[in-house]
Amino acid sequence: YTELKQKNIDTGMGLERLACVCQDVASLFDVDTVMNITNKVSEITHAHYGETAAKDVSLRVITDHIRSATFMICDGVLPSNEGRGYVLRRLLRRAARHGKLLGVNDPFLYEVCDTVIHENEGHYPELRERQDYITKVIRTEEENFARTIDGGLKIFNDMLEGHKAGGETVFSGADAFKLYDTYGFPIDLTIEMVEEQGMTVDQAAFQKLMQEQKERARKAREALGDLGWAGVEFGKDVPETEFVGYTNTSIDDAKVVALVVENEQAEELMPGVEGIVVLDKTPFYAEMGGQVADHGTITTAGGAQFQVTDVQKNKGGKYMHYGKLTEGTLKLGDTVTASIDVSRRKAIMRAHSATHLLDKALRTVLGDHVHQAGSLVEPDRLRFDFTHFSAMTAEELGQVSAMVNEAVLEGYDVHTDVLPIEEAKKKGAIALFGEKYGDTVRVVDMGEGYSVEFCGGTHLDNTAKVGVFHIESEFSVASGVRRIEATTGAQSLKIMNQNQQKLFEAAAVLKAKPSDLREKAEQTISELRELRHMVESFKAKEAINQAGNFLMGAKDVGGLKVLTATLNDADADRLRKMGDFLRDKDSSVVAVLSSVKDGKITFLSVCGKDAVAKGIKAGDLVKQVCCCCGGKGGGKPDSAMGGGSDVLKLDDALAKVDNFVAEKLGL
């Protein structure tokens, strides 16, 4: 080998390249563990390595992308339209696209998962543990992409016809971009299909539009600012804040180590001014891990009082207490008493401990594929996102709610320990997808193994203190991700009391006991149905009687009975019933009925058999009258409907009916 000019640099000799050397093969795709995946793809697609260069490319793309996708999903990434989720979506769609090039139109990538897992589970056992979940995610994404392709094909064909009709040989970049951006249609697929039609895609225009989109996205990110950064940099002179809030709700020897006013460090804080206070130690929990921050006060012996309304932890480990100084003056170096709002903290702990119990219940009821995908813990209220691919049934929600409340009634003791990460895993502690952990972790254990999770939040010492757990809603927030919103403690009691009050009020309205409310409601609904049916029956009879009266006043035009009438506030159904009666009652009738409601005109035209035989068609007639009133209509020869908006011209429109019939008859 030629000696390198710069010594001791990375040679790029990673595991996979080393495997190529050890197995004496030409590329990564020829290594045994990877080739076994390719062989599985060949088995499904009936395309074999070495047949053609194009097939080799497709086989390699599918093999590479399904490996990446399997590991990404195992690590908690889900297909989406942004960030790493978008990378995963592109990988899966490109692999599916190459499957189509090999003649496979149905979902097939999910079938390759088992081979990927089999080849890698020795060093990545979590792949096998999450196999059902990984397979489900890939299959769902494949099915969604298949629908996207089907929908996009129709749009593509319409665009193609438009270009051909104009005698064009270049498919516009704007259309290609619209297919890509709006309908998720891959550009390489568009290019291939266009070339099959003997045309080309204006790729330069497409790339220009892509670049403009990236610029818009970049400017949008700049407008939002760096959301990952909280506050200002304080420098090395300001120490990290020591959090003592697990054991203390108030301390009286904290020291002010930094003050910030309008994003600038300050020496003191004046009354009425909003700012940030940094202490050397604090009982205030900073917002993180889905748990909201503590509120409370920071006070001095001299009478200064700072109301804390938010707490954030910056990258340097400083706890920044946001709020407003309501009394006195707060100076750098002051010794202060920091006290949290204890009742609020208790309400937050109730919700956080309930979140752990909910996670346990969901895994038990729905299966091990359930993993936390996000959470928000507020005072006596929680939001929990989890991986699951269908809406929970009422029975499943009932089981989950019952299981959480049963754990509450059991009164499990809650213990927290800081353990080496490997010891915590052996204990069965559940880690969050996507989270990075150090050598030691904080473990929250409820009921000596009932629920064991990594967690840095604050918790109760016994599950009984959660109080009543109540699920408010369950719904989808993304593909494969569901959300449960629930309440605990005082909030649940408030909801229960409100519901009970509504129950009593409803019972009073229906003059029934609360226990008999359902039977009374069903009885009332049944009576309403009967009454509604009777009313409809009376209306139908009235309409027929009224139509009979109209028929008696019809004009004779060339042997046909022509009539027009306007009804006040009649709906379309009433007009149809009257029209059907007139048409069936007399075969020589020609009638136009109208109704004005909310400033809109509805027309109905009917013609009997004899009238139709003489060339009078209801569809033609209704078009004439609708046109007069600024509307349009149409229908069959014997019955047609339409509408109009110019109410002032209604009489003129109806007056034209006699002339229309006379002209058709040649009179």
Distance separating alpha carbons of residues 408 and 258, to the nearest angstrom: 42
Q: Is residue 192 part of a domain?
A: no
| Average pLDDT across the chain, whole number | 88
Domain end, chosen from 462, 495, 528, is at: 495
Q: Can you give the pLDDT at residue 246? A: 95
Instruction: State the average pLDDT over residues 491-515.
Output: 92
Q: Is the pLDDT of residue 230 over 50?
A: no
Instruction: State the average pLDDT over residues 492-511.
Output: 93
- 121 contacts 33 by C-beta, under 8 angstroms: no
Q: Is residue 1 part of a domain?
A: no
Determine the number of helices (DSSP H) and then strands (DSSP E) in the chain: 19, 26
Q: Can you give the pLDDT at residue 229? A: 40
Q: Can you give the pLDDT at residue 225? A: 41
What are the CA-CA distances from residue 46 to residues 40, 49, 113, 118, 474 (Å)? 10, 10, 18, 21, 43
Helix intervals (H) in 6-108? 15-22, 32-45, 53-74, 83-101
Query: Minimum mean pLDDT among 33-37, 161-165, 348-352: which range?
Result: 161-165
What tens digit of pLDDT does each residue of 385-431 get? 998 878 999 999 999 999 999 999 999 999 999 988 888 888 877 77
Phi, psi of 420 (to 5 degrees): -60, 145
Distance separating alpha carbons of residues 442 and 420, to the nearest angstrom: 9
- Please name the amino acid found at residue 546: Q
Do residues 367 and 479 share a domain? yes
The CATH number that applies at residue 316 is 2.40.30.130
Do residues 20 and 117 share a domain? yes
Distance separating alpha carbons of residues 188 and 523, to the nearest angstrom: 63
161: CB partners within 8 A, 6+ apart: none
Instruction: State the average pLDDT over residues 215-241.
Output: 63
371: CB partners within 8 A, 6+ apart: 76, 130, 133, 386, 387, 433
Which residue's structure tokens are 């409100």? 498
- 473 contacts 484 by C-beta, under 8 angstroms: yes
Do residues 415 and 556 share a domain? no
Between 252 and 11, name the one with better pLDDT: 252
Q: The tokens of 108 are what? A: 């097939």
Do residues 616 and 549 share a domain? yes
Q: Is residue 235 part of a domain?
A: no
Q: Can you give the pLDDT at residue 27? A: 84
- 647 contacts 587 by C-beta, under 8 angstroms: no
- Please name the amino acid found at residue 414: V
Q: What confidence tier does 192 reach under pLDDT thresholds 50, 70, 90?
A: confident
- 327 contacts 493 by C-beta, under 8 angstroms: no
- 470 contacts 401 by C-beta, under 8 angstroms: yes
What tens digit of pLDDT does each residue of 342-391 get? 999 999 999 999 999 999 999 999 987 788 888 999 999 999 999 887 89
- Please name the amino acid found at residue 32: D
Do residues 390 and 471 share a domain? yes
Phi, psi of 234 (to 5 degrees): -95, -10
Do residues 382 and 284 share a domain? no
Between 87 and 488, name the one with better pLDDT: 488
SS3 annotation, 394-453 = HHHHHHHHHHHHHHHHHCCEEEEEEEEHHHHHHCCCECCCCCCCCCEEEEEEECCCCEEE
Do residues 396 and 491 share a domain? yes
Domain end, chosen from 440, 465, 495, is at: 495
Element of type H or E holding 221: helix 203-224
Q: Which domain holds residue 155?
A: 15-167
Do residues 312 and 365 share a domain? no
Query: Minimum mean pLDDT among 34-43, 170-179, 220-229, 432-441: which range?
Result: 220-229
What tens digit of pLDDT does each residue of 520-546 get? 999 999 999 999 999 888 877 887 888
Do residues 349 and 485 share a domain? yes
Distance separating alpha carbons of residues 72 and 86, to the nearest angstrom: 12
Q: Is residue 506 part of a domain?
A: no
The CATH number that applies at residue 635 is 3.10.310.40
Cite the beta strand spans of 67-213 per DSSP E.
Answer: 170-171, 200-201
Start-to-end CA span in the chain (Å): 108
At what angle are helices 109-120 and 53-74 packed, to 10 degrees?
70
Q: Is residue 206 part of a domain?
A: no
3-state helix, strand, coil in the chain (%, to 5): 50, 25, 30
Q: The tokens of 334 are what? A: 């002051």
What tens digit of pLDDT does each residue of 447-483 get? 999 999 999 999 999 999 999 999 999 999 877 789 9
Do residues 606 and 574 share a domain? yes
Buried b (16+ CB within 10 A) or exposed e, 560-575: bbbbbbebeebeeebb
Domain end, chosen from 340, 372, 389, is at: 340
The CATH number that applies at residue 418 is 3.30.980.10
Do residues 247 and 367 share a domain? no
- 452 contacts 427 by C-beta, under 8 angstroms: yes
Half-sphere exposure of 274 (CA within 13 A, CB side): 6
Distance separating alpha carbons of residues 639 and 636, to the nearest angstrom: 5
Q: Can you give the pLDDT at residue 363? A: 92
- 289 exposure class (CB count in 10 Å sphere: 0-12, 13-18, 19+): middle
Q: Is residue 469 part of a domain?
A: yes
Q: Can you give the pLDDT at residue 251? A: 97
Between 144 and 631, name the one with better pLDDT: 631
Q: Is residue 524 part of a domain?
A: no
What tens digit of pLDDT does each residue of 54-85 get? 899 999 999 999 999 999 998 878 887 677 88
Q: What confidence tier does 274 reach under pLDDT thresholds 50, 70, 90?
A: very high
Q: How many domains does the chain have?
A: 4
Do residues 551 and 480 share a domain? no
Q: Is residue 276 part of a domain?
A: yes
Distance separating alpha carbons of residues 233 and 230, to the nearest angstrom: 9
Q: Can you give the pLDDT at residue 163? A: 87
Query: Minimum mean pLDDT among 4-18, 228-242, 454-468, 644-658: which range?
Result: 228-242
